[in-house]
Structure 1
Amino acid sequence: MKAVLCVLLSVAVYTATAGPLDIGEGKYSRFIEYPDGEGVFRMVDLKAEPNTELVNQIERNPADNEYYLFTRRNPTSPQRLTSNATSVLMSNFNPNSPTVVSVHGWMGNLDAANNIAIRDAILDNDNCNVIIMDWSKLASADYSTVVAGVPAVGRGLGQFLNFLGSVTGITLDSIHLIGFSLGAHVVGNAGKQLNGRVARITGLDPAGPLWDWNPNRLHSSDAVYVEGIHTDAGPNGIGIGFLTTVGDVDFYPNGGAAQPGCSTSQCNHQRAWEKFAASVTYNHLTGRRCSGTSEIVSDTCSGDVLSMGNADLTKQVTPGLYRVNTGSEYPF
């Protein structure tokens, strides 16, 4: 009980307002542990010099990202889409269906657990085009290098979506971008490339280290509707994710710092995509709007009700901060 109170009290000190929660980078030590795509913690030096050669290469060739299409006709066997129109026109891509793009985080790839769970949930729920973006060429580098290259990777995704529209006729109001951890900032930069016109972005526990004051992080202006789901603020806000608001709506499951059934930061972090995938299937996780972080921490929010997650491209929302209470096991 004392441990829980310590976490809650540390979160409470941020602010009692409903405005942006900008927390400085000084809260992080130089060396932190951060989970890779398999959930294995690796030591990260936040002051390491980025590999500028690799970053420059990514910036020159943002099309190096790889895109894999899944539909109900090929739910587990990917079709690779390239900037060659033939690859799109000969695929199962259906321009009359919504398009969902899932993006992994650091050290992830096509087969990252978040991608598989989201793909399966989306296809079970609706007849969609699910595109998994594999940006492992950059994501497999050291953390500082990856952070430096994220804007270029995001621009590449935005450019690819423009190309997809030119080939198939799809419009940006039929697209939902979903990014986990560092992937949340990737989709934010894709949204910037598209001038904020994509229908929806969902940021799943956006990465915190080196992003709190970073102008390239996910922002509410990056899409028509941006939703953040924060699950690992950690004690004193020092978690893999962060409390900083990123969207029109920001959800803080169970207060946003520690999740039921979890004993590690990595587990808390992954709960973001696990709960999102469950919400696509059941649309059962409901939050209440809060007047500020003090209500989030004390679980006394009493404002408007809003479903967290789901796959709705046109959610009707009252912007703000929301707390949602969940269980400890799937579907939460």
Structure 2
Amino acid sequence: MTTWVLLLLVLLACSVTGTQAGLVEKGRDLVVSWFNQALNVLPKFNARSLMTWFFHFNDNVFFTLYRRNCEPKRIVVGNIESLADSCLSSEVKTKIIIHGWLSAEDNYYSDLMKKAFLEAHDYNVITADWSWYSYNFYTFARFSIDYVAPEIAKFVEFIVDAGIHPDDVHILGHSLGAHIAGLAGFEMKVNVSRITGMDPAMPLIFGDESHRLDATDAQFVDIIHTSRYTLGVNEAYGHADFYPNGGGPLQPGCGLELGVCTHSRSYRYYIESIHNEKGFMALKCDGWWHFTHQNCSSTYDYMGEGVSHSARGKFYLRTATKPPYALGDIWWRSTNIEGNKDPPLPLSNITRNKSSALTQKERFLSPTIEDYPTLLN
């Protein structure tokens, strides 16, 4: 009962506009502090051993490999024969997709992402299915991730032992799946190249980095925030954190819907970026207010598949209201402002991952999405 009351307080406190972000963060920090103090006085016991024995976690997390021109193949950790019978190759990069709550390996977005990767390149695309736990009450699913993640870690170590190089492994997770990816990275003995968190879940995610996705979980961690203050976290936990349209709580085209639409946009944006790696250009900035007032550095990068592993900090961008969502650099280039006869600003005026300030003229010429009304239809 206490847990649900605390969750309600967190969600209530978080359902506000971006201008109240400072107050929200202070209030939420207080609630989190109370929650952690409550956890510290709970009896200590070997929860992992008990939960693993009772729910058979190691028997209910499944991995399926997809390759071009190959039949899908279920790979079982420790089963060399299942590996030998598959098309797993150390010659190509490996993408591991982890779904979120109330979802499965064959859900709409996971399936779209799998197909997009295979269309783009000849990858090892692996889906991790923990739907036995995700199709349950949120509280159960949330506390299951601490026991599902080690199974993901064992799988990664298994394929690495079989010849897959950690530098070629990229794990992507949505919602609770993002935290599973992070916890798996924390657990495994190898350091994979990249973990991408697509709108990591916020409800009941408390504690330090050992209980959630964090920049220490892989060589490079990038995060896309689309429903902050409601279903997704607001904090910048990665090496590079992207906040399209301010990161929420609303996304253009979702109306006032604070649930599935905004939460799933992270999936949609990333899937689109697989075929358009330079479509989601984003500026490094201190916050959304600074971005909307053209008060950012000139450092930029690309949200999604095309991000540079050297990217560091918080990045902001705008998107269209419907597919295709990517605006490229259109919001950057100058518009025909009355009285302004200057040509569009070349992209050479800004630098990728190199800090320098925008000139006043560049700030003035930087348009907003409202300058492109056709994109709002």
Q: What TM-score bracket applies, with the shorter chain setting the length?
A: 0.7 to 0.9
Alignment check: 8 A CA contact 1:255 1:299 kept = no
Q: How far did 1:149 drift?
A: 1.7
1:102-139 deviation per Cα after TM superposition (whole angstroms, max 9, x unaligned): 00001211211221121111111111000000011211
Q: How far did 1:316 drift?
A: 3.7
The 5 Å alignment of 1:1-332 reads 7-11=17-21, 13=23, 23-24=28-29, 26=31, 55-57=51-53, 61-62=57-58, 64-74=60-70, 78-83=72-77, 84-167=79-162, 169-195=163-189, 197-213=191-207, 215-233=210-228, 237=229, 239-257=230-248, 258-263=250-255, 264-265=257-258, 266-283=260-277, 284-292=279-287, 294-296=289-291, 300-310=295-305, 315-332=308-325
Q: How far did 1:69 drift?
A: 0.9
Q: How far did 1:302 drift?
A: 3.1
Residue type matched to 1:112 in 2?
Answer: N
Q: Distance in 2 between matches of 1:311 and 1:303?
A: 18
How many corresponding residue pairs? 291
Q: Give 3-state SS (helix, strand or coil) of 2:101's partner.
A: coil
Q: How far did 1:78 drift?
A: 2.5
| Larger mean Cα displacement after TM superposition, 152-161 or 206-215 | 206-215
TM-score, normalization by structure 2: 0.71
Residue 10 of structure 2 is matched in structure 1 by none
Alignment check: 8 A CA contact 2:66 2:73 kept = yes
Q: Distance in 2 between matches of 1:22 and 1:71?
A: 47
Q: How far did 1:212 drift?
A: 4.1
Q: Give 3-state SS (helix, strand or coil) of 2:148's partner.
A: helix
Residue 33 of structure 1 is matched in structure 2 by none
Q: How far did 1:328 drift?
A: 1.1
Q: Distance in 2 between matches of 1:293 and 1:118?
A: 28
Q: Give 3-state SS (helix, strand or coil) of 1:321's partner.
A: strand
Q: How far did 1:292 drift?
A: 4.0
Higher-helix-fraction structure: 2
1:123-178 deviation per Cα after TM superposition (whole angstroms, max 9, x unaligned): 111110000000112112221122212022111101111111222x1111110000
- CA distance 1:249–1:260, change in 2 (3 Å): same
Alignment check: 8 A CA contact 1:98 1:174 kept = yes
Q: Distance in 2 between matches of 1:301 and 1:22?
A: 28
> RMSD in angstroms over aligned alpha carbons?
2.7
Alignment check: 8 A CA contact 2:48 2:147 kept = no
| Larger mean Cα displacement after TM superposition, 255-264 or 137-146 | 137-146
1:29-72 deviation per Cα after TM superposition (whole angstroms, max 9, x unaligned): xxxxxxxxxxxxxxxxxxxxxx9998343786435310011111
Q: Distance in 1 between matches of 2:294 and 2:205?
A: 27
Q: Give 3-state SS (helix, strand or coil) of 2:95's partner.
A: strand
Q: Distance in 1 between matches of 2:262 and 2:293?
A: 19
Alignment check: 8 A CA contact 2:173 2:197 kept = yes
Residue type matched to 1:143 in 2?
Answer: Y
Alignment check: 8 A CA contact 2:288 2:316 kept = no
Alignment check: 8 A CA contact 1:23 1:244 kept = no
Q: How far did 1:197 drift?
A: 0.8
Q: Give 3-state SS (helix, strand or coil) of 2:268's partner.
A: helix
Q: How far did 1:324 drift?
A: 1.5
1:224-281 deviation per Cα after TM superposition (whole angstroms, max 9, x unaligned): 0000100001xxx2x1112111200100000001211112122111000000000111
TM-score, normalization by structure 1: 0.80
- CA distance 1:108–1:87, change in 2 (3 Å): same
- CA distance 1:63–1:166, change in 2 (3 Å): farther
Alignment check: 8 A CA contact 2:169 2:194 kept = yes
Q: How far did 1:301 drift?
A: 2.9
- CA distance 1:64–1:319, change in 2 (3 Å): same
Q: Give 3-state SS (helix, strand or coil) of 2:144's partner.
A: helix
Higher-strand-fraction structure: 1
Residue type matched to 2:317 in 1?
Answer: V
List alignment gaps of at least 5 residues for structure 2.
1-15, 33-46, 326-377
Alignment check: 8 A CA contact 1:212 1:244 kept = no
Q: Distance in 1 between matches of 2:263 and 2:161?
A: 36
